[in-house]
Amino acid sequence: DVKVTQSSRYLVKRTGEKVFLECVQDMDHENMFWYRQDPGLGLRLIYFSYDVKMKEKGDIPEGYSVSREKKERFSLILESASTNQTSMYLCASRSSTGTAYSNQPQHFGDGTRLSIL
């Protein structure tokens, strides 16, 4: 079974702090994703990564950055946390091997519920 592990289930930080959310997958997946999930808005893509050291902006990248130094780890960074970044953050990974148009589903971690005070 695919395992996507997010380092914290719950996190409380203060405005202005630099916040790191970590995600590790154990299936050697090329693609990794960060979403945030808010009531009434669904899941929105923040950033994704095709492979090591590669990253692409999603729909709502403002106020965030990412790091993918190793294949299994994808970090989301809140440069200067603000209260509107209070949310549930979900990491996902997916295999893209075989063809460029792999039909593999994304597998999600359990989420980090982040509160910014």
Partner 1 sequence: EDKVVQSPLSLVVHEGDTVTLNCSYEVTNFRSLLWYKQEKKAPTFLFMLTSSGIEKKSGRLSSILDKKELFSILNITATQTGDSAIYLCAVLNQAGTALIFGKGTTLSVSS
Binding site residues, partner 1, CB under 8 A: 4, 31, 33, 35, 40-45, 48, 50, 56, 58, 90, 96, 100-103, 105-111
Pairing of strands 112-116, 10-13: parallel
Shortest distance, position 109 Cβ to partner 1, whole Å: 6
The residue among 49 and 85 lying less far from partner 1, judged by its C-beta, is 49
The residue among 26 and 79 lying less far from partner 1, judged by its C-beta, is 26
Shortest distance, position 61 Cβ to partner 1, whole Å: 13
The residue among 78 and 91 lying less far from partner 1, judged by its C-beta, is 91
Distance CA 13, CA 82 (A): 9
Between the alpha carbon of residue 104 and those of residues 2, 31, 53, 62, 97, the distances in Å are: 12, 10, 22, 28, 9
